[in-house]
Amino acid sequence: MKKPMASGLEGVVAAQTALSHVDGERGELIIAGERVETLAGSQRFEQVCARLWNVPEVDLGPARVWAAARLPAWGETEGMDAMRAAVAQLPAKSTAIEVTAAMGVFAAAWARARSGEAPVSPDPRLGHAADVLRMIKGEPARDELVAGLDAYLVAVIDHGMNASTFTARVIASTQSDLVSAVTGAVGALKGPLHGGAPGPVLDMLDAIGSPERATQWLETELAAGRRIMGMGHRIYRVRDPRAAVLETAVERLERAGVTSRRLALARAVERAATQVLAARYPDRSLQANVEFYTAVLLDTVGLPRELFSPLFAAGRVAGWCAHFVEQQATGKLIRPASEYVGPMPN
Ligand code: COA
Protein backbone atom coordinates (compact mmCIF):
# COMPACT_ATOMS: atom_id res chain seq x y z
CA MET A 1 0.00 0.00 0.00
CA LYS A 2 1.22 3.52 -0.85
CA LYS A 3 2.17 5.83 2.04
CA PRO A 4 0.08 9.03 2.42
CA MET A 5 1.56 12.11 0.78
CA ALA A 6 3.81 14.29 2.99
CA SER A 7 2.78 17.84 2.14
CA GLY A 8 5.84 19.73 0.89
CA LEU A 9 7.82 16.49 1.52
CA GLU A 10 7.99 17.61 5.17
CA GLY A 11 9.93 15.05 7.22
CA VAL A 12 10.80 12.92 4.16
CA VAL A 13 14.45 11.79 4.08
CA ALA A 14 15.51 12.17 0.43
CA ALA A 15 19.26 11.49 0.65
CA GLN A 16 22.12 10.45 2.88
CA THR A 17 24.75 13.13 3.10
CA ALA A 18 28.12 13.68 4.74
CA LEU A 19 27.96 17.39 3.94
CA SER A 20 25.77 19.01 6.58
CA HIS A 21 23.44 18.13 9.43
CA VAL A 22 20.55 20.29 10.61
CA ASP A 23 19.05 19.52 14.04
CA GLY A 24 15.87 21.56 14.16
CA GLU A 25 15.03 20.81 17.81
CA ARG A 26 18.45 21.67 19.22
CA GLY A 27 19.15 24.48 16.76
CA GLU A 28 22.35 22.91 15.54
CA LEU A 29 24.04 23.08 12.14
CA ILE A 30 27.09 20.92 11.46
CA ILE A 31 28.98 21.47 8.21
CA ALA A 32 31.26 18.58 7.23
CA GLY A 33 31.95 17.66 10.84
CA GLU A 34 32.21 21.11 12.42
CA ARG A 35 29.67 23.46 14.00
CA VAL A 36 28.74 26.54 11.97
CA GLU A 37 29.60 28.70 15.00
CA THR A 38 33.17 27.36 14.92
CA LEU A 39 33.62 27.81 11.18
CA ALA A 40 32.02 31.22 10.54
CA GLY A 41 34.34 33.96 11.72
CA SER A 42 37.41 31.73 11.97
CA GLN A 43 37.70 30.08 8.53
CA ARG A 44 37.73 31.65 5.12
CA PHE A 45 35.15 30.67 2.51
CA GLU A 46 37.76 28.74 0.50
CA GLN A 47 38.74 26.69 3.57
CA VAL A 48 35.15 25.59 4.07
CA CYS A 49 34.83 24.85 0.33
CA ALA A 50 37.83 22.54 0.79
CA ARG A 51 36.06 20.78 3.71
CA LEU A 52 32.91 20.26 1.65
CA TRP A 53 34.73 19.17 -1.48
CA ASN A 54 37.07 16.94 0.53
CA VAL A 55 40.25 18.40 -0.95
CA PRO A 56 43.28 19.78 0.93
CA GLU A 57 43.08 23.33 -0.43
CA VAL A 58 40.95 25.53 -2.67
CA ASP A 59 42.14 28.60 -4.59
CA LEU A 60 39.33 30.39 -6.44
CA GLY A 61 41.57 33.20 -7.78
CA PRO A 62 42.45 31.84 -11.26
CA ALA A 63 38.83 30.74 -11.75
CA ARG A 64 37.62 34.27 -10.96
CA VAL A 65 39.78 35.50 -13.85
CA TRP A 66 38.34 32.73 -16.03
CA ALA A 67 34.79 33.77 -15.07
CA ALA A 68 35.45 37.48 -15.67
CA ALA A 69 36.11 36.60 -19.32
CA ARG A 70 32.61 35.08 -19.46
CA LEU A 71 30.40 37.94 -18.27
CA PRO A 72 27.06 38.03 -20.07
CA ALA A 73 25.45 41.18 -21.45
CA TRP A 74 23.33 42.31 -18.48
CA GLY A 75 19.77 43.25 -19.37
CA GLU A 76 17.47 45.22 -17.10
CA THR A 77 17.19 42.19 -14.87
CA GLU A 78 16.62 41.62 -11.18
CA GLY A 79 19.67 40.15 -9.37
CA MET A 80 18.65 36.52 -9.22
CA ASP A 81 17.43 36.57 -12.83
CA ALA A 82 20.84 37.96 -13.77
CA MET A 83 22.64 35.25 -11.78
CA ARG A 84 20.53 32.52 -13.33
CA ALA A 85 21.18 33.77 -16.85
CA ALA A 86 24.89 34.28 -16.18
CA VAL A 87 25.52 30.82 -14.78
CA ALA A 88 23.39 29.21 -17.49
CA GLN A 89 25.71 30.46 -20.23
CA LEU A 90 28.83 28.86 -18.71
CA PRO A 91 30.22 25.81 -20.51
CA ALA A 92 28.27 22.73 -19.40
CA LYS A 93 31.45 20.98 -18.30
CA SER A 94 32.58 23.77 -15.94
CA THR A 95 34.11 22.55 -12.67
CA ALA A 96 33.00 23.23 -9.09
CA ILE A 97 35.87 25.71 -8.68
CA GLU A 98 34.89 27.56 -11.85
CA VAL A 99 31.18 27.72 -11.08
CA THR A 100 31.78 28.77 -7.47
CA ALA A 101 34.27 31.48 -8.42
CA ALA A 102 31.92 32.65 -11.18
CA MET A 103 29.00 33.29 -8.83
CA GLY A 104 31.00 35.87 -6.85
CA VAL A 105 32.31 37.49 -10.04
CA PHE A 106 28.83 37.63 -11.57
CA ALA A 107 27.24 39.11 -8.43
CA ALA A 108 29.88 41.86 -8.34
CA ALA A 109 29.72 42.62 -12.06
CA TRP A 110 25.91 42.74 -12.02
CA ALA A 111 25.97 45.16 -9.06
CA ARG A 112 28.34 47.45 -10.94
CA ALA A 113 26.32 47.26 -14.17
CA ARG A 114 23.18 48.14 -12.23
CA SER A 115 24.75 51.40 -11.11
CA GLY A 116 26.08 52.11 -14.59
CA GLU A 117 29.69 51.20 -13.77
CA ALA A 118 32.15 48.98 -15.63
CA PRO A 119 33.11 45.67 -14.00
CA VAL A 120 36.31 45.55 -11.94
CA SER A 121 38.79 42.82 -12.98
CA PRO A 122 39.47 40.14 -10.37
CA ASP A 123 42.74 40.05 -8.45
CA PRO A 124 43.56 36.34 -8.24
CA ARG A 125 45.99 36.87 -5.36
CA LEU A 126 43.23 37.95 -2.98
CA GLY A 127 40.93 35.76 -0.96
CA HIS A 128 37.48 35.26 -2.46
CA ALA A 129 35.55 37.49 -0.02
CA ALA A 130 38.17 40.25 -0.26
CA ASP A 131 38.13 40.19 -4.05
CA VAL A 132 34.35 39.98 -4.39
CA LEU A 133 33.99 42.99 -2.09
CA ARG A 134 36.69 44.85 -4.02
CA MET A 135 34.97 44.07 -7.32
CA ILE A 136 31.64 45.35 -5.94
CA LYS A 137 32.98 48.54 -4.35
CA GLY A 138 35.68 49.34 -6.88
CA GLU A 139 38.38 49.66 -4.21
CA PRO A 140 40.00 47.36 -1.65
CA ALA A 141 37.77 46.80 1.38
CA ARG A 142 38.79 47.06 5.04
CA ASP A 143 39.79 43.75 6.65
CA GLU A 144 36.83 43.91 9.07
CA LEU A 145 34.35 44.14 6.18
CA VAL A 146 36.06 41.27 4.36
CA ALA A 147 35.80 39.20 7.55
CA GLY A 148 32.09 40.07 7.73
CA LEU A 149 31.45 38.86 4.18
CA ASP A 150 33.58 35.76 4.74
CA ALA A 151 31.54 34.90 7.86
CA TYR A 152 28.36 35.32 5.81
CA LEU A 153 29.50 33.13 2.90
CA VAL A 154 30.57 30.40 5.35
CA ALA A 155 27.34 30.60 7.38
CA VAL A 156 25.19 29.92 4.30
CA ILE A 157 27.50 27.49 2.47
CA ASP A 158 25.36 24.40 3.07
CA HIS A 159 22.18 23.51 4.93
CA GLY A 160 20.89 19.97 4.56
CA MET A 161 18.16 19.20 2.05
CA ASN A 162 16.92 22.77 1.49
CA ALA A 163 14.84 23.46 -1.63
CA SER A 164 17.68 24.67 -3.88
CA THR A 165 20.01 21.84 -2.84
CA PHE A 166 17.25 19.33 -3.46
CA THR A 167 16.72 20.89 -6.90
CA ALA A 168 20.44 20.54 -7.65
CA ARG A 169 20.38 16.91 -6.52
CA VAL A 170 17.34 16.07 -8.66
CA ILE A 171 19.14 17.46 -11.71
CA ALA A 172 22.39 15.70 -10.74
CA SER A 173 20.50 12.42 -10.38
CA THR A 174 19.58 12.45 -14.07
CA GLN A 175 23.35 12.46 -14.87
CA SER A 176 22.98 16.00 -16.22
CA ASP A 177 25.86 18.50 -15.81
CA LEU A 178 26.90 20.79 -12.94
CA VAL A 179 25.97 24.03 -14.73
CA SER A 180 22.41 22.76 -15.29
CA ALA A 181 22.15 21.75 -11.63
CA VAL A 182 23.39 25.14 -10.38
CA THR A 183 21.14 27.01 -12.82
CA GLY A 184 18.11 25.13 -11.47
CA ALA A 185 19.23 25.69 -7.90
CA VAL A 186 19.49 29.47 -8.46
CA GLY A 187 15.88 29.41 -9.67
CA ALA A 188 14.78 27.65 -6.48
CA LEU A 189 16.80 29.98 -4.23
CA LYS A 190 15.22 33.06 -5.79
CA GLY A 191 11.82 32.59 -4.15
CA PRO A 192 10.96 34.58 -1.00
CA LEU A 193 10.20 31.40 0.95
CA HIS A 194 13.85 30.40 0.45
CA GLY A 195 16.68 32.82 -0.44
CA GLY A 196 14.67 35.82 -1.57
CA ALA A 197 13.79 37.03 1.93
CA PRO A 198 16.75 39.19 3.13
CA GLY A 199 16.04 42.18 0.87
CA PRO A 200 12.40 42.23 2.05
CA VAL A 201 13.64 41.98 5.68
CA LEU A 202 15.45 45.26 5.20
CA ASP A 203 12.33 46.73 3.56
CA MET A 204 10.40 45.66 6.66
CA LEU A 205 12.90 47.28 9.05
CA ASP A 206 12.68 50.49 7.02
CA ALA A 207 8.89 50.41 7.00
CA ILE A 208 8.77 49.88 10.79
CA GLY A 209 11.36 52.59 11.38
CA SER A 210 11.37 52.58 15.19
CA PRO A 211 10.95 49.84 17.84
CA GLU A 212 7.69 51.16 19.31
CA ARG A 213 5.95 50.78 15.92
CA ALA A 214 6.99 47.12 15.49
CA THR A 215 4.12 45.23 17.11
CA GLN A 216 1.38 47.16 15.37
CA TRP A 217 3.08 46.97 11.98
CA LEU A 218 3.60 43.21 12.32
CA GLU A 219 0.01 42.62 13.44
CA THR A 220 -1.27 44.58 10.44
CA GLU A 221 0.84 42.42 8.13
CA LEU A 222 -0.50 39.20 9.63
CA ALA A 223 -4.06 40.52 9.50
CA ALA A 224 -3.55 41.22 5.78
CA GLY A 225 -2.50 37.57 5.32
CA ARG A 226 1.16 38.35 4.65
CA ARG A 227 4.13 36.49 6.09
CA ILE A 228 6.82 38.10 8.21
CA MET A 229 10.04 37.79 6.24
CA GLY A 230 13.04 36.36 8.08
CA MET A 231 10.83 34.51 10.56
CA GLY A 232 9.95 30.79 10.66
CA HIS A 233 11.63 27.74 9.26
CA ARG A 234 10.68 24.31 7.96
CA ILE A 235 13.20 22.50 10.17
CA TYR A 236 14.10 24.76 13.12
CA ARG A 237 11.73 24.88 16.08
CA VAL A 238 14.19 27.13 17.91
CA ARG A 239 16.10 30.16 16.67
CA ASP A 240 18.14 29.36 13.54
CA PRO A 241 21.77 29.03 14.75
CA ARG A 242 22.92 31.04 11.72
CA ALA A 243 20.93 34.03 12.98
CA ALA A 244 23.20 34.06 16.06
CA VAL A 245 26.33 33.56 13.95
CA LEU A 246 25.45 36.52 11.72
CA GLU A 247 24.39 38.67 14.68
CA THR A 248 27.80 37.92 16.26
CA ALA A 249 29.49 38.97 13.01
CA VAL A 250 27.65 42.32 13.18
CA GLU A 251 28.75 42.77 16.82
CA ARG A 252 32.35 42.04 15.75
CA LEU A 253 32.08 44.74 13.09
CA GLU A 254 30.73 47.20 15.64
CA ARG A 255 33.64 46.46 17.99
CA ALA A 256 35.97 47.21 15.05
CA GLY A 257 34.32 50.61 14.64
CA VAL A 258 31.87 49.82 11.82
CA THR A 259 28.48 51.00 13.09
CA SER A 260 25.35 49.11 12.10
CA ARG A 261 22.45 51.45 11.42
CA ARG A 262 19.92 48.73 12.02
CA LEU A 263 21.12 46.22 14.65
CA ALA A 264 19.18 47.73 17.58
CA LEU A 265 16.00 48.06 15.51
CA ALA A 266 16.40 44.53 14.14
CA ARG A 267 16.68 43.09 17.64
CA ALA A 268 13.55 44.93 18.75
CA VAL A 269 11.63 43.82 15.65
CA GLU A 270 12.77 40.22 16.15
CA ARG A 271 11.48 40.28 19.75
CA ALA A 272 8.16 41.75 18.67
CA ALA A 273 7.79 39.34 15.73
CA THR A 274 8.51 36.33 17.93
CA GLN A 275 5.77 37.46 20.35
CA VAL A 276 3.22 38.32 17.66
CA LEU A 277 3.78 35.01 15.84
CA ALA A 278 3.64 33.03 19.11
CA ALA A 279 0.27 34.60 19.90
CA ARG A 280 -1.03 33.76 16.43
CA TYR A 281 0.52 30.28 16.10
CA PRO A 282 0.77 28.99 19.70
CA ASP A 283 1.48 25.43 18.49
CA ARG A 284 4.22 26.33 16.04
CA SER A 285 7.48 27.92 17.12
CA LEU A 286 8.25 30.63 14.53
CA GLN A 287 11.58 32.32 15.26
CA ALA A 288 14.23 34.29 13.40
CA ASN A 289 15.88 32.47 10.50
CA VAL A 290 19.15 33.10 8.66
CA GLU A 291 17.64 35.79 6.44
CA PHE A 292 16.80 38.12 9.32
CA TYR A 293 20.42 38.81 10.27
CA THR A 294 21.70 38.36 6.72
CA ALA A 295 19.97 41.64 6.03
CA VAL A 296 21.59 43.35 9.02
CA LEU A 297 25.08 41.96 8.38
CA LEU A 298 25.26 42.62 4.65
CA ASP A 299 23.81 46.09 5.20
CA THR A 300 26.52 46.78 7.79
CA VAL A 301 29.17 45.56 5.33
CA GLY A 302 27.82 48.33 3.09
CA LEU A 303 26.14 46.22 0.43
CA PRO A 304 22.88 47.15 -1.33
CA ARG A 305 19.82 45.01 -0.64
CA GLU A 306 19.51 43.96 -4.29
CA LEU A 307 22.77 42.04 -3.83
CA PHE A 308 21.70 40.03 -0.78
CA SER A 309 20.15 37.09 -2.65
CA PRO A 310 22.90 36.98 -5.34
CA LEU A 311 25.46 36.80 -2.50
CA PHE A 312 23.46 34.02 -0.87
CA ALA A 313 23.86 32.15 -4.17
CA ALA A 314 27.59 33.00 -4.20
CA GLY A 315 27.95 31.20 -0.85
CA ARG A 316 25.49 28.32 -1.27
CA VAL A 317 26.91 27.39 -4.68
CA ALA A 318 29.78 25.55 -2.94
CA GLY A 319 27.25 23.34 -1.18
CA TRP A 320 25.31 22.72 -4.41
CA CYS A 321 28.53 21.58 -6.10
CA ALA A 322 29.33 19.16 -3.26
CA HIS A 323 25.78 17.75 -3.31
CA PHE A 324 26.01 17.35 -7.08
CA VAL A 325 29.04 15.06 -6.70
CA GLU A 326 27.54 13.19 -3.74
CA GLN A 327 24.26 12.58 -5.58
CA GLN A 328 25.90 11.42 -8.82
CA ALA A 329 28.04 8.98 -6.84
CA THR A 330 24.85 7.15 -5.78
CA GLY A 331 23.96 6.52 -9.44
CA LYS A 332 20.29 6.60 -8.50
CA LEU A 333 17.65 8.69 -10.29
CA ILE A 334 15.44 10.80 -7.98
CA ARG A 335 11.93 10.15 -9.18
CA PRO A 336 9.18 10.18 -6.54
CA ALA A 337 5.61 9.09 -7.11
CA SER A 338 2.45 11.17 -7.21
CA GLU A 339 -1.10 10.49 -6.16
CA TYR A 340 -3.57 10.96 -9.01
CA VAL A 341 -6.69 12.87 -7.92
CA GLY A 342 -8.07 13.67 -11.41
CA PRO A 343 -10.98 12.04 -13.23
CA MET A 344 -10.76 8.47 -14.52
CA PRO A 345 -11.99 7.42 -17.96
CA ASN A 346 -15.40 5.72 -17.96
N1 COA B 1 4.98 34.81 8.98
C2 COA B 1 3.67 34.54 9.14
N3 COA B 1 3.18 33.30 9.19
C4 COA B 1 4.03 32.29 9.04
C5 COA B 1 5.41 32.49 8.89
C6 COA B 1 5.86 33.82 8.85
N7 COA B 1 7.15 34.10 8.69
N8 COA B 1 6.02 31.30 8.76
C9 COA B 1 5.06 30.38 8.84
N10 COA B 1 3.86 30.97 9.02
C11 COA B 1 2.57 30.32 9.15
C12 COA B 1 1.99 29.95 7.80
O13 COA B 1 1.26 31.01 7.23
C14 COA B 1 1.15 28.77 8.13
O15 COA B 1 -0.06 29.23 8.67
P16 COA B 1 -1.47 28.59 8.25
O17 COA B 1 -1.39 27.18 8.76
O18 COA B 1 -2.44 29.44 8.96
O19 COA B 1 -1.54 28.65 6.76
C20 COA B 1 1.92 28.09 9.25
O21 COA B 1 2.76 29.10 9.84
C22 COA B 1 2.80 26.98 8.75
O23 COA B 1 3.53 27.48 7.65
P24 COA B 1 4.10 26.57 6.48
O25 COA B 1 4.35 27.42 5.28
O26 COA B 1 3.27 25.34 6.30
O27 COA B 1 5.45 26.09 7.15
P28 COA B 1 6.80 25.81 6.44
O29 COA B 1 7.59 24.93 7.31
O30 COA B 1 6.57 25.34 5.05
O31 COA B 1 7.41 27.29 6.39
C32 COA B 1 8.88 28.99 5.69
C33 COA B 1 8.75 27.60 6.34
C34 COA B 1 10.33 29.44 5.79
C35 COA B 1 8.47 28.87 4.23
C36 COA B 1 7.96 30.01 6.42
O37 COA B 1 8.28 30.05 7.79
C38 COA B 1 8.00 31.40 5.80
O39 COA B 1 7.31 31.65 4.81
N40 COA B 1 8.84 32.33 6.36
C41 COA B 1 8.94 33.67 5.80
C42 COA B 1 9.87 33.71 4.60
C43 COA B 1 11.32 33.53 4.99
O44 COA B 1 11.81 34.06 5.98
N45 COA B 1 12.02 32.73 4.17
C46 COA B 1 13.40 32.40 4.42
C47 COA B 1 13.52 31.02 4.94
S48 COA B 1 15.18 30.62 5.45
Q: Which atom of ligand 1 is nearest to the CA of 280?
A: 3
| Section 267-282 average pLDDT | 97
The reported pLDDT for the residue numbered 121 is 98
Same domain, 207 and 309: no
Residue 188 and residue 227 in one domain:
no
* Residues 167 and 259 placed together within one structural domain of the fold: no
Which among 221, 247, 291, 326 is annotated as catalytic? Answer: 291
Residue 218 lies in a domain: yes
Does the annotation count 291 as an active-site position? Answer: yes
**Ligand 1 atom at shortest distance from the alpha carbon of 193:** 45
178 and 292 in a single domain? The answer is no
Percent of the chain with pLDDT over 90: 95
Residue 221: half-sphere exposure toward Cβ, Cα within 13 Å: 18
In eight-state DSSP terms, residue 7 is G
Tell me the mean pLDDT in the region 276-288.
Answer: 96
Q: What is the mean pLDDT of residues 30-35?
A: 97
Residue nearest to atom 19 of ligand 1 (CA): 225
- Tell me whether residue 11 is in a domain: no
Distance between Cα 204 and ligand 1 center (Å): 16
Residues 280 and 314 in one domain: no
Domain with 241 in it: 198-301
Report how many domains make up the chain: 2
Ligand 1 pocket at CB < 6 A: 8, 192-194, 197, 227-234, 281, 284, 286, 289-291
Q: Is 144 considered catalytic here?
A: no
Protein residue with its CA nearest to atom 39 in ligand 1: 193
Q: What is the mean pLDDT of residues 8-31?
A: 95
Residue 5 is predicted with a pLDDT of 85
Does the pLDDT at position 293 exceed 80?
yes
Q: Are residues 261 and 158 both part of a single domain?
A: no
Task: Tell me what pLDDT residue 1 has.
Answer: 60
CATH of the domain at 238: 1.10.230.10
Instruction: Tell me: pLDDT of 122 over 80.
Output: yes
Choosing from 128, 159, 194, 233, which is the catalytic residue? 233
Per-residue pLDDT for 2 more than 80? no
Q: Are residues 212 and 157 in the same domain?
A: no
- At CB < 8 A and 24+ separation, what contacts does 326-331 make? 326/15, 326/17, 326/18, 326/19, 326/169, 327/15, 327/168, 327/169, 327/172, 327/173, 328/172, 328/173, 328/175, 330/15, 330/173
Does residue 81 register a pLDDT over 90? yes
pTM of the model: 0.96
pLDDT, tens digit, 9 for 90 and up, residues 247-269? 999 999 999 999 999 999 999 99
Tell me, yes or no, whether 163 and 243 share the same domain. no
- Residue 104 within any structural domain of the chain: yes
User: What value does the mean pLDDT of the chain take?
Assistant: 96
Cα 79 to Cα 61: distance, rounded to the nearest angstrom = 23
Dist CA 321 CA 29 (whole Å): 19
Q: Is residue 343 part of a domain?
A: no
| Atom number in ligand 1 closest to CA 195 | 46
Does residue 85 lie within any of the structural domains? yes
CATH value at residue 103: 1.10.580.10
Q: How much is the average pLDDT of 264-286?
A: 96
Within this chain, do residues 47 and 76 fall inside the same structural domain, yes or no? Answer: yes
Q: Tell me, yes or no, whether 345 lies in a domain.
A: no
